[in-house]
Amino acid sequence: MSSQGGGGRTRVGRYELGRTLGEGTFAKVKFAKNVETGEHVAIKILDKEKLLRHKMIDQLKREISTMKLIRHPNVIRMHEVMASKTKIYIVIELVTGGELFDKIVSHRRLKEDDARKYFQQLINAVDYCHSRGVYHRDLKPENLLLDANGTLKVSDFGLSALSQQVQKDGLLHTTCGTPNYVAPEVIINKGYDGAKADLWSCGVILFVLMAGYLPFEDSNLMSLYKKIYKADFTCPSWFSTSTKKLIKKILDPNPNTRITIAEVINNEWFKKGYQPPTFETEDINLDDVNSIFDESGDPTQLVVERREERPALMNAFELISTSQGLNLGTLFEKQTGSVKRETRFASRLPANEILSKIEAAAGPMGFNIQKRNNCKLKLQGESPGRKGQLAIATEVFEVTPSLHMVELRKSNGDTLEFHNFYHSISNGLKDVMWKAGWQHS
């Protein structure tokens, strides 16, 4: 954030909060640093009032307790939980290798052995979490992250669909997830088995890894649902026979005859080069979880958000962590051909001037300015869109006094619509964007 916004760093307990990494309906994720150890983490921030209003507190406590107990090399680790009077803070592992989605975009599709390696890690994570009674319900490449060593990490496991409830029939009943990855039994809304629905999504992910495109795609939502319900898809010619057979067994529209995860693990194609994960179980303390949900608890256990009055500059590690694979050359460039949920550019203009020009460019495109403060803008689209109204969070960071990084991030709506919005608004911001000699075209 620029010093021209008059802001400063925010401290929560022993953590100093930095830039926003992502946001959704119930939560915001921020980069953070443990000031005692120097360790970099991510902190998921949830609004207590929203959770109470949606009767989600009990579900959240169950999910957090379970997730804290999960220690698996392919699932993002939860370190601890804190609460203030108004917010809940979930401290999680920071993963810097980017999304698996980016790898598919840059390579167009993966070789069979590479796709198999990621699929094996995905199945390992999903199988382990299911054994602990935790279901993801929104598995897709954007929720699969890579660490610095290229190891797959499933994010948001058990926290992506907090409002889900298992009813008396033992089934889940709320339709959620991204349409293209959702199992047919979820769409018809008669109740579904979370484990079988997650496996369907894994099958779609395997197809995307190897094909470079989705098995079920249609601009009309009802037509898309019909294709999913009939499992109307065709494997491309470069898929091996054994790959085609496995995918067809996973993408079986009947959950009762669909292959199980145990059967997938025993499949010959899956077993090639398979190395089961090795990890140690450890004693986990749930005292922090119990204390933040204990209404009669000690108020001294609550943390306080404390704002430090000094310019919030973007430090070197934060700067590098925004670039793909720690490659500074990609830091400010526009992502050509890549459909991403965020994008950024550099500017030599003062922060207030940058925001004013973004407001002026967004207005004629049908966007209202919802709020503006501390070098941040919230743009709200007027049209309904494919997945609800498109909303965009904009933030200006100070890299040096004369150079700012501007980030535009989708906070609601469709990723492709955000991609189109960015290409349109770029034309109106040509005098804002800094074209450096070292920047890629």
Position 439, amino acid: Q
Report the C-alpha gap between 422 and 259 in whole angstroms. Answer: 41
* Beta carbons within 10 angstroms of residue 66's beta carbon: 18
138 is catalytic: yes
What 3 state SS string does the chain have? CCHHHCCCCEEECCEEEEEEEEECCCEEEEEEEECCCCCEEEEEEEEHHHHHHCCCHHHHHHHHHHHHHCCCCCECCEEEEEECCCEEEEEEECCCCCEHHHHHHHHCCCCHHHHHHHHHHHHHHHHHHHHCCCCCCCCCHHHEEECCCCCEEECCCCCCCCCCCECCCCCECCCCCCHHHCCHHHHCCCCECHHHHHHHHHHHHHHHHHHCCCCCCCCCHHHHHHHHHHCCCCCCCCCCHHHHHHHHHHCCCCCCCCCCHHHHHCCHHHHCCCCCCCCCCCCCCCHHHHHHCCCCCCHHHCCCEEECCCCCECCHHHHHHCCHHHCHHHCCCCCCCCCCCEEEEEECCCHHHHHHHHHHHHHHHCEEEEEEECCEEEEEECCCCECECCEEEEEEEEEECCEEEEEEEEEECCHHHHHHHHHHHHHHCCCCCCCCCCCCC
Beta-bridge partners for 372: 377
* Cα torsion through 161, 165, 170, 172, rounded to 10: -50
- Tell me how many degrees the CA angle 110-111-113 measures, rounded to the nearest 5: 120
Catalytic residue of the set 102, 127, 138, 198: 138
Half-sphere exposure at residue 414, Cβ-oriented, CA atoms within 13 angstroms: 14
Residue 272 known to bind ligand: no
Q: Residues within the annotated binding site?
A: 44
Residues with a catalytic annotation lie at 138
Q: Residues within the annotated binding site for ATP?
A: 44
